[in-house]
Every structure is written in C-alpha cells, then in structure tokens.
Amino acid sequence: MVIALSDFDVAAIRKQFPILQQEVNGHPLVYLDNAATTQKPESVIDAIANYYRYDNSNVHRGAHALSDRATEKFEGARVQLAQFINAPAKEQLLWTRGTTEGINVVAASWGRANLSAGDRVLVSAMEHHSNIVPWQMVAEATGAIVEPIAVTAEGVIDLSALREQLDERVKMVALGHVSNALGSINPVADIIPLAHAAGAKVLIDAAQSIAHWPLDVQALDCDFLVFSGHKMFGPTGIGALYGKRELLEAMPPYQGGGEMIESVSFAGTIYNQLPYKFEAGTPNIAGAIGLAAAVSFLQSFDREAADRHEQALLRSAEQQLQALGGFPLVGTSREKTAVMSFTCDFAHPQDVGMILDQQGVAVRTGNHCAQPIMDQFGIPGTVRASFSLYNNEDDVAKLMAALAKAKMFLA
C-alpha cells in the first residue's frame, strides 16, 4: 500500500531501520552519509536472512526444492528490478556487484569491441572515479581518447561546451545522473538526444538518483544504465546493468565460467543467451533477493513526498549553514539531490569530520572519489552531509550544533 502524502510519517519510517536506534560516542546516531551508502530497513535484512535460513541453495542447476525456491526468488528479483526501471524485458537486466562493475562491463566489453584509435569518450569533469578510470583503461588498450565535459563554477554541466565537443568521433558519452560529490542533477533528458544525434551511445550512472525518484530507461532512451543496491536501501555487493538488447547481444562476455555458456568443448564454446552470457559463476543470490526487498520498500510509500521531504531538509540545512558562517558551500546548482558539500575556512575537512563523529554525527570527508572536480575548484575535498528519507529536522539541528562546536574548537 502506498502511503499518502499526508501520512508520510518520518518517525514511522525511522522505526524500520534498526541501526538508527543506537548511540555513537555517547550520542544518538545522526547518519548523514547516505550518498556513500544508505541504511537497510528490517524488511531487507529479513529477506536476506530468510533466504539463508530457509532457501539457501544454488540457482538454475539444482533438481531439488531448495534450488527451485532459490531460483524462483532470484529470477523474480530480476523481473521486479526490470519493472522498477521499466526495462523492456527482464533479459536486459544483468546482475553486477554494483555501479563500478557495471561500468567496467560496458567499458571492457562494448568499449574494446567498438572503440579504436582516435575515437572519443566524453565524461563529465565531476564524474566519480569509477566512471573515469575504466574508460581510461580501455582507451589505453584501443587508442581512444577520454575527454572531460566542462562543468561550471556552480557544478553544472556546460551544455554549450558539450554541443561543441560532439562530433562523429565521439562514440560514448558516460555521465552520472547526479554528482555524488556535489549533488548536482545533470540534464540527462537533454544530453541523451544530443549524443544520439552525433551517433554516440550513452551510459547513465544512476547510483545517486535511483533512491530518490522513479527512473524509466525507455523514456530516457539511454543505451546503458547502471546502479548499486547499497545506495537504495539494499545490500552491498549487488547492483544491475541495463542495456539495449541489440547492444548486449553484440557484446562479447565480460568473464568466462559456469552459467555463461550453452556448451563447452575443446573445439570451442557457445555462449549462453541474455542475461546469463554476462553472469559467470555463482551469483549473489541473497543480494538480489535483498535488493528486490529494497525495491518493495521504496514502492511502499509516496516517493514524491519523500523527495519533497529530503529537499526541505536540504534547504533548511543550507540556510542554517550559511547563517553559521565559515563553511562555504561547494556545488550550488539549482537542481540538486539532498547533498550538502562544503569546505571550512579555518580547518581541513577531515578535522571537521572527526569532531562531528565525536558528537555522533556521521558525514563523509575527502574528495569523494571525484578528484578532478576538486582540482578544478582548487580544494583538497569537502565535508559532505547527505540526507535520506529517514532523516529529520532534529538531525539537521544536531549537525549544526556539532558544526558550531567544531568552529569553536578549530577557528
């Protein structure tokens, strides 16, 4: 049942997360590191535990009840995830270990088969390292070139600069839907048709957007989309790669082993059909089942209401931070998820993070695996407070109190 806007009860949602009911360093936990990983509701924890309690078996190959039950839940999770992003067919939803592996699959498999010397891959200047390094690796092997898409001082992709970069040599545009370092929401609905008009394919890293709003891969018309379970209330070590069928069918396997084959002999091997061609070895069965439970959790309430709640927390936090003084914001796009990155006029971000931790406030500090954009801004890193649907105004107040104490100690 979907909870109506008027019934969006943050206190009730918080009760579903056991980890939030604890103290850290003698203070109630204030968890504001959601861009790194979200916490897990009881329903996800139970789904994983119950698989191991009652259904633990390998999938697809067994001739017994446990294997049948495990296979049904595992493949049912694939169907649920495919429907969640509106993929045309479940065969186009491939299990991965997460966003990073999904990008590596595309870079290694599609990239090595389709890129050659002089071809160009465009990635935004604010990409996570996982959407830069795999392309550099395949570029080194093929002679292709990886180039950054310019980002403005506000942390927004420069669309005019992108238009000038796009030509027939650009074969791939790979970018995050949302910047993990800044929270900026990239205009992917505008960028995808621009790239396609130039003949390029598009990969969307949805790691930072999948937990916040519904995604429709058919409406976006992206060629590939990747995301991680642990950033959407699911377990670690599981994620998914969506691809257009004709691209996936043409791509060579990423790894060899069991499950990804139809037949093997020393005369040669015939590969399996989608999606199994890309799923060598025993998969993360419990992870897939847990991720399906996370999708059910996300679909149990009004997601637009949750997004409005998160946006209200962000606006409140930014206003209070500016009033406090000494903590300049980094990333001031008008379109953002609930991510607040900032520096400190009088101390290193790491020092601020340590003082916050002493008061039970969990934030992330550093370059957030986005070193190029930090270099562009001329800073070593930021403090990043990222909000989720289970955070509340009390969390914001405790963050501000902790920052005031850090300012008192360090200024």
- Minimal CA–CA distance to 123: which of 62, 46, 205? 205
Catalytic pick among 145, 159, 369, 379: 369
Residue 143 token pair: 């002679």
Rounded CA-CA distance 326/267 in Å is 69
Contact 200, 70 (CB under 8 A): no
Angle between helix 285-298 and 42-50 (nearest 10): 150
d(CA 99, CA 207): 6
Residue given tokens 């070193």 in the structure block:
371
CA 29-238-174 angle, to 5 degrees, is 100
Q: What Å distances lie between residue 361 and 51, 169, 182, 358, 375, CA to CA?
A: 33, 48, 20, 7, 27
How many C-alpha atoms does 160 have within 13 Å on its Cβ side?
A: 1
In whole angstroms, what is the distance from residue 180 CA to residue 208 CA? 6
Q: Is 369 a catalytic residue?
A: yes
Separation CA 158–CA 411 (nearest Å): 36
Residue 165, CA distances (Å) to 45, 76, 365 in order: 46, 42, 33
The alpha carbon dihedral of 77, 302, 241, 391 has a sign of negative
Alpha-carbon span 104 to 111, nearest angstrom: 9
In whole angstroms, what is the distance from residue 118 CA to residue 121 CA? Answer: 10
Q: Which residues contact 72 (CB under 8 A, 6 or more apart)?
A: none
Q: Which residues are catalytic?
A: 369
